[in-house]
Amino acid sequence: MKQNYKLIIAYDGTRFYGWERQPGRDTIQGKLESVLTQLTGAPVEVIGAGRTDAGVHARAMTASAVLDTDKSPEAIRDYLNRYLPDAIAVREVKPCADGFHARYKARGKTYRYTCFDGAVKPVFDRRYVTVLDYCPDEERMRRAAAYLTGEHDFAAFCGNPRMKKSAVRTVDSITVERRRDRVIFTFHGNGFLQNMVRIMVGTLLEVGRGLREPEDVQTILESRDRRAAGSTAPPEGLCLMKVDY
C-alpha cells in the first residue's frame, strides 16, 4: 500500500557530489533513491528539505518519499542502513500525512559552520572543519553578523547568478562561539539561497581577520551584488543540523 514517509538522514558529505541526484555521480539523493527502488521494486523519488552542496554534511536532513511496501518503518530504516554507503545513515523513518512535502513544508533550518584555527591541525574531525591559517576575531564577526540578522534581500549572498526569484529571506539568529581552537557559526533562518551560508561565513571571516569592517556588511547587503560580498567558504566546515516543520 502506498504511504508517504518522513525520513531523517545524517551524512558525511566528503565524498559526495552533494544532495541532488546527478547521472553518473554519487549523491545522497541518488543513493537513497536507488536503495528505496531496490526495496520497493519501483522507481522512488526522494524529496529533500533542501539541496546541500558537494562536500557539505548533515546531521538531520529531512526528506519525504512515497513508498509502496509492506515493511514496517523500522524495517525500512534497517534496510536502508544496510545497503547505503557507510557515510549515510537514516536515523528515522516515520509514516506521515499525504500532504507532507519535505521542501514545501519546511519552515526553518539550522546550519552550523565550524572553523579550526589552532596551531596543530585536527586529526579526528578533520573532515568536518575548515582549517584557517589565521585567528579571526569573534567580536568583530558578531558585530558584522548583526547586520545580516533579520529580513533582507540576500542577492549579494547568493551563489546562483541566474537566480530570478526573490532573494528576500529572514535569518532569525546568527551566533559566533569560540570553543578553544574552534570557531562555530550557527545560523537559523526560514530559508537559505544557494551557497548563502558559505558566502556569509566567507564574508564574516574577512571581517574577522580585519580585511573588512563589520559595518561594510550593510553596504554589501544593499548592493545586491555577489561581487561585493566575500568569498564562498569551503564546504567541509558546513553541516545542516535541523529542519523545522
Q: Which of 26, 53, 98, 125 is catalytic?
A: 53
Query: Is residue 81 involved in binding its own copies (CB under 8 A)?
Result: yes
**CA–CA gap between residue 164 and residue 202 (Å, rounded):** 23
Half-sphere exposure in the Cβ direction for 170 (13 Å, CA): 5
Query: Is residue 133 involved in binding its own copies (CB under 8 A)?
Result: no
Residue whose CB is less far from its own copies, 125 or 222: 125
Map residues 102-131 to x or -, x wherever contact with its own copies holds by CB under 8 A.
Answer: -----------------xxxxxxxx-x---
Least separation in angstroms between residue 123's CB and its own copies is 5
Asked if 191 contacts 109 with a C-beta cutoff of 8 angstroms, the reply is yes
- β-bridge pairing 108-116 and 88-95: unpaired
Residue whose CB is less far from its own copies, 1 or 119: 119
Asked if 120 contacts 129 with a C-beta cutoff of 8 angstroms, the reply is no
Cell numbers given for 100: 507532507
The count of chain residues that interact with its own copies, using the rule CB under 8 A, is: 24
**CA–CA gap between residue 242 and residue 60 (Å, rounded):** 5
**CA–CA gap between residue 69 and residue 93 (Å, rounded):** 13
Please say if 12 is a catalytic residue. Answer: no
Least separation in angstroms between residue 59's CB and its own copies is 8
Cell numbers given for 221: 547587503
2-21: which residues touch its own copies (CB under 8 A)? 10-12
- Given 54, 60, 66, 87, the residue binding its own copies (CB under 8 A): 87
Map residues 50-69 to x or -, x wherever contact with its own copies holds by CB under 8 A.
Answer: -------x-x----------
Instruction: Report residue 242: phi and psi, to 5°.
Output: -170, 145
- Given 43, 86, 98, 107, the residue binding its own copies (CB under 8 A): 86
For 95, 173, 244, the CA distances from 190, given in Å and listed in that order, are 25, 10, 9
Q: Which residues are annotated as catalytic?
A: 53
| Site residues (vs its own copies, CB under 8 A) | 10-12, 57, 59, 74, 77-78, 81, 86-91, 119-126, 128
